[in-house]
Structure formats: C-alpha cells, structure tokens
Amino acid sequence: MVVHLPPHHLKSAELSHRNAPHHTGRSPPLLIAGLPSRLIEFPVLHFHDMATGQLFSQKTQALFYNYKQLPIQRMLDFDFLCGRETPSVAGIVNPGSEGFQKLFFGQEEIAIPVHSSIETACTTHPTADVFINFASFRSAAASSMAALNQPTIRVVAIIAEGVPESDTKELIAYARANNKVVIGPATVGGIQAGAFRIGDTAGTLDNIIKCKLYRPGSVGFVSKSGGMSNELYNTIARVTDGIYEGIAIGGDVFPGSTLSDHVLRFNNIPQVKMMVVLGELGGRDEYSLVDALKEGKVQKPVIAWVSGTCARLFKSEVQFGHAGAKSGGELESAQAKNQALREAGAVVPSSYEAFENAIKETFEKLVEGGKIPPVSEVKPPQIPEDLKTAIKSGKVRAPTHIISTISDDRGEEPCYAGVPMSTIIERGYGVGDVISLLWFKRSLPRYCTQFIEICIMLCADHGPCVSGAHNTIVTARAGKDLVSSLVSGLLTIGPRFGGAIDDAARYFKDAYDKGLAPYEFVESMKKKGIRVPGIGHRIKSRDNRDKRVQLLQQYAHTHFPSVKYMEYAVKVETYTLSKANNLVLNVDGAIGSLFLDLLAGSGMFSKQEIDEIVEIGYLNGLFVLARSVGLIGHTFDQKRLKQPLYRHPWEDVLYAK
C-alpha cells in the first residue's frame, strides 16, 4: 500500500501559504506497520500539492506517550471489537520508567513494553508509525518534536490543550518540511472505522457500537471539535452506512493539519464516497476548503456546517470553548463561512438542525446512483467485562500478579526460554545450556556453556575452612535442616568472600573501556581507598599460583575468539605483583574478566545487555550456584558423620580487656 501524506498549512503570517518554501527531494525510508520487511519511501510533496491517502489501517501500530491506562485499554478494546490480529499499541513511552504494563486484548492479558525514551521505543518498534502524545501542554511540544525527528514516525497526535502557539508553529513547519502529519493540539485524535483508534476518540464502547465504528462505512468526516465528533458519528450512522475515517483536528488557533487537508485526502480514498465537515467560527481554515472546491480539486459531495451562528446575538466579541473559536471579523463568522462554502459547491444546510437531513439526502442520492454499494453488517464480538463488574463465568478477566519470560509450564511439557524439555534432552544439553536459557534467555554456543560448567566445577568448594563452609558446618552440627544450613553458608557470600566477581568485572570493564593503563587503574583505586576486586589471595602468591585461574585461562585461550579483558586483568596483576607477592589474579578476577570476554566475544549481547548483566549480579550468581553444591556436600558430610553441636574452643579466642 502506497500512502501519500498531506501537507500542513500554516495560518501565521511568517509561515503563510504563499511564502512557504517548496521542498524537493525524498524523505528517508520509513518502516510501515504491517510491512516489517519492506521499506517504502515517501516522496516529499510541494506545499501547494494536495496530498492524498489514508493514514491508518488494520495493521497500524502506535507508540503511546505518558502512560494512561484507560485510553490505552479503550484502544485495545476497539482493536478486539474490529477483529484486529495484533494490538494497535506497540509500546509505551514513560520517561524515567522501563518494564511492562499489563493490559487486556479481549480475554487475553498482554504485557506492553514500557520505554524510558522516545528514541529507544522507536528503535525497538520500527513498524509503529503513529505517536499518540498524552503529555501535558508544558512538555507536549518537546516530546512531539522528538517523535517527529524519528524516521519511523509519520503521524503525531497531540492531545493537550494550551500548547504555546510558537511551539505549535515550529512543529507544523517541521512536519510539513519532512512530509509528516500532526493531528492537534487540543484533539481527541481520530479513528478509522474497523481499523484503528486514537485514544478516547468516539467515547465509550457502547457509543462505538451504536455508531457502527467497528466496521468501515463510506463517509469521511473531519471536525475541529472532538466532542461534536462523537455527536456527528452518531448522526452519520443513523442516516448513512457509517464512517470510513473521522478526524478531529483540534480547536487551537494553529492546528497541525487543516480541514481541507483531510477533505483532500478523503477525496482520493476510493472507499470514501462523501465527506462531512464540521467547522466553527474563528480563523480562516474553512476558506482553504472553499478554494479547493472552487478549483475543482474535490470531486465528491461535501456536506458542511460551520457552527457558531449564534455569535451575532451577542453585542461584544465572544470566546467559545476552543482557543480558535473566536470571531475576529466578518470573514471569520460562521455565517460568512457557511455562505462561502455553499457558493463553492458544498451542501450547506440552513441550520445545524437540518444538517442530519442534508447528510441523509446526499447519501441516498449516491445509493440511488449506484455509487455506494450495500455494506454487509457484522456482529461485533462481546468485550469481556472486568472483574469488578462481572462475576459469571466467561465474563471475568483477572489481572496476573507476576510476569515471567524465562519459562512456561503450561501445555504438554515445560519450556525453558521457549525450548521444550524434550528438545533439551534430545539435543544432549548440559547444565551450562540450561543456565544459558534460564539466565540469558538464549542458547549460547557450546564453548560458552562449557565455560559456565567449568566455572561451576572449579568453584563448587574450597575446603571446610572458608567462611561459607564453616557457617554451614556449624549450622548442620546444630541439628538444622539442609535449607537452613545451606542458607547460613550462602549468607557469608559478599565483597570479602566469593562475591567479588561482579565487582571485578565492573571495574576491569570500566578501566579497559576508558583506556586506562594498568598502573593508572590501580593507583586511581588506591586513591579512592578501594581494593582492586579480583586481585589478591590469603594463600596464593607469585610462586604458588591458583590452579583454577590457570585452567580458566588455558580454556579461554583455546576457545574464546577474544580475551581482551582477561589480558588486561593479567597486566593489572603484573603491576600489583610489583607491590606485593600475594597480589595475584584470583579466581573471582579470572571469572569476572573472562565472562566479559564471553559476553563481548560471542556477538550475542549488546553493550547495554552486558552492562545490565554485570549490574544485576549474574556473575556472582555463578559463584552462588557453584558454591551451593559444596555447601550441600558439607551439610550431608556432617550429618552422615553424626557430628555433635559445635563449640568454638576458648583457647582460640583472645579475651581482650
């Protein structure tokens, strides 16, 4: 589907229709919702061109800015009502927040990703080309401009009222120059019947069903007023086959797109057979439509009404609800606009009360002339009621309390990261492979999973004298159960015992990435009063190296595509050994540096993922998992030997005064 986008007409003198520069060339390729593997280039249109094409389809997806549960849920309920296969909200942008928001797609509860920035959201969801901005008037302009700057975004809907006019002009100018569409500010948005809905457009589901918006009709509708749009959707549904697309451009003085922009689009959409326009007093937007009608650019019937005729009853100038609804002279009066539209060829009734009949008569003429075929009525599905309002079976949906992405025990057999248990057994996966699925949510190469297994084997135990084993032995001899004995040992793991792997990885990575020489790194740590994690041992020294470290290094040199972090750690060790004989690279430092090489060298992790893995504590998790094997062994050993309650000998205590 080739989509043409409308230009944006400005009402300001400095960016007028006559003086606006013409732009040539081609816009960057855009990824269009529903066509994930196909790039479509949109030609940049001249300002005087009246572009055509529909903005939305059943494949359209949006990014929703500033999380609001109700309008998002209403969009998803509309999706379900229309029979969409995929939700129309691809992601949520909520500055300062990340994760997921749980919402309903029919009976099914889904998790919609939440991103902290517009850039991240657009990168993650390249087929989402509509940006629905629910920011306040204070930040709406900045966030809308950030969205327009993204190559994947082509339509921005700004809901907020009161956006500064100078900011709005900049948005309009940028959108026009870059062939993008702005709906609003001060808008409820728009709707394509049976396909896509922006936020709260068209109100409740009951109103949507009454207006038959769950399936397309033949009428294109555009209005300044969101509230009156709901009224007109109902009116149009009563006397025609319903709406095909409806847009509320917003009531501010400078709308991002004009009434005529959308009428000209509708004129070139084959499914739209007639257009209904609801304007209002104030401004001169309607006159661009008058010009288009006079120039013969609109070939389909236009039924129009400009509200605000009652303004003449007041002796002084009256400001109606919208910022732009204020007559600034006779040309901006509702009467003058209605007369101009009537003279240009639009069907303009004598009053708003006659508007419905004018729409009806025009529609019936088109039907009689064979220009509008009958629309097949469909029964929309029933939207499940929420738990608070429904109790009967089949009408209840309850929110979940946990999100899990690593395993699924539903179905015939459990799955680890989507891999069925039978596949794990049939392919001969080992413990390292299972860890790669459950911890990293992907199948790592065999050399990686084997390295994980080696780490577990080498760190499983280090004798009964280390603090973790000692605690476990004392607890087991006190008659406590396996879990209590195990936990008592695990609780000793920390920065002084076994918990330095993450810190070693973090500091080595930071120093290497910054290009610090080993001596610079060590001396900077010394100035901060921080011992270098992964360096130093109570027993091992230059002449008595830790065999575990040597085995890990040998394996990495043989199997890893790159060992840059390990080599850096060795250079740090060379410098620290010049200061003291026992400042050797210990097993924590070896695992920490080598795991960085595993993550970076495998090519399966982004920089952000690597930083997150280190920050969360994955590497210490290896030590915890490995040492649990040894601590369980010590528990069983003490119970098998039937050892009595342990009491520390007083000879081994210094009783100081």
The CA-to-CA distance between both ends of the chain, in Å, stands at: 88
Q: What is the pLDDT of residue 417?
A: 95
Within 10 Å of residue 648's Cβ, how many Cβ atoms? 8
DSSP state, residue 350: S
How much is the pLDDT for 315?
53
Low-confidence ranges of the chain (pLDDT < 50): 1-51, 313, 319, 321-325
Phi, psi at residue 117, to the nearest 5°? Answer: -140, 155
Cα–Cα distance measured from residue 33 to residue 57, given in angstroms and rounded to the nearest whole number: 9
Q: Is residue 368 classed as helix, strand or coil in its secondary structure?
A: helix
pLDDT for 52 equals 53
Here the tokens at position 198 are 């922006």
Pair 326, 377: CB distance under 8 Å:
no
Strand blocks (E) in 281-332: 302-307
Which of 76, 64, 155 is CA-nearest to residue 118?
A: 64
**Contact between residue 225 and residue 186 where contact means Cβ atoms under 8 Å apart:** no
Among residues 218, 150, 212, which one has the least CA distance to residue 178? Answer: 150
Assign residue 370 a region (left: φ > 0; alpha: ψ between -120 and 50; beta: otherwise).
left
Q: Answer yes or no: are the C-beta atoms of 170 and 176 closer than 8 Å.
A: no
Strand-pairing partners, residue 347, are: 303
CA 519 to CA 313: how far, in whole Å? 86
> Residue with structure tokens 């929110």?
399
How confident is the model over 98-132, as pLDDT tens digits? Answer: 999 999 999 899 999 999 999 999 999 999 999 99
Cα distance between residue 459 and residue 437, in whole Å: 21
Which structural domains are found in the chain, ordered by start? 53-313+320-369 (3.40.50.261), 407-459 (no CATH), 467-641 (no CATH)
Reduce the DSSP state of residue 247 to 3 states and report it: strand
Give the pLDDT of residue 49. 34
CA distance 392 to 224: 42
Please return the burial class of 599, using the count of CB atoms within 10 Å of its CB with bins 0-12, 13-18 and 19+: buried
Torsions phi, psi for 247 (to 5 deg): -130, 135
CA 68 to chain centre: 14
Element (H, E) at 155: strand 155-158
**Is 193 buried (19+), middle (13-18) or exposed (0-12) by CB count in 10 A?**
buried
Among candidates 89, 40, 7, 6, which has minimal Cα distance to 269? 6
Omega of the bond leading into 185 within 30 degrees of 0 (cis): yes
Question: Which helix or strand (DSSP H or E) is residue 558 part of?
Answer: helix 547-559
pLDDT on residue 318: 59
Tell me what pLDDT residue 383 has: 84
Segments in 201-274 forming alpha helices (H): 205-210, 226-239, 259-267
Residues labelled catalytic: 322
Inter-residue contact 333 to 288 (CB < 8 Å) = no
Tokens standing for residue 153: 């975004």
In SS3 terms, 622-641 reads as HHHHHHHHHHHHHHHHHHHC
Beta-sheet strands, E only, within 9-84: 30-31, 39-40, 62-65
Cα 163 to the center of its chain, rounded Å: 25
The number of residues in the chain equals: 657
Pairing mode, strands 39-40 and 30-31: antiparallel
State residue 390's pLDDT score. Answer: 65
Structural contact between residues 194 and 216, judged by C-beta atoms closer than 8 angstroms: yes
What is residue 30's predicted lDDT score, i.e. its pLDDT? 33
Q: Are strands 89-93 and 108-115 parallel, antiparallel or unpaired?
A: parallel
Residues β-bridged to residue 247: 190, 222
The CA–CA distances, whole Å, from 303 to 220, 290, 324, 361 equal 10, 12, 22, 10
| Residue 495, pLDDT score | 76
Q: How many CA atoms lie within 13 A of 290 on its CB side?
A: 18
pLDDT tens digits for range 224-235: 988 899 999 999
Are 453 and 432 within 8 A, CB to CB? yes
Cα(210)–Cα(221) distance, integer angstroms = 17
Strand-pair partners of 155? 130, 181
Calpha distance 504→434 (Å, rounded): 25
pLDDT attached to residue 21: 33
Tokens matching residue 259:
């009434």
CA 220, CA 180: separation in Å to the nearest integer?
20
Closest CA to 154 of 29, 258, 268, 254: 29
Are the C-beta atoms of residues 180 and 5 closer than 8 Å to each other? Answer: yes
Q: Which residue has the tokens 């680890």?
A: 416
Phi, psi of 2 (to 5 degrees): -90, 130
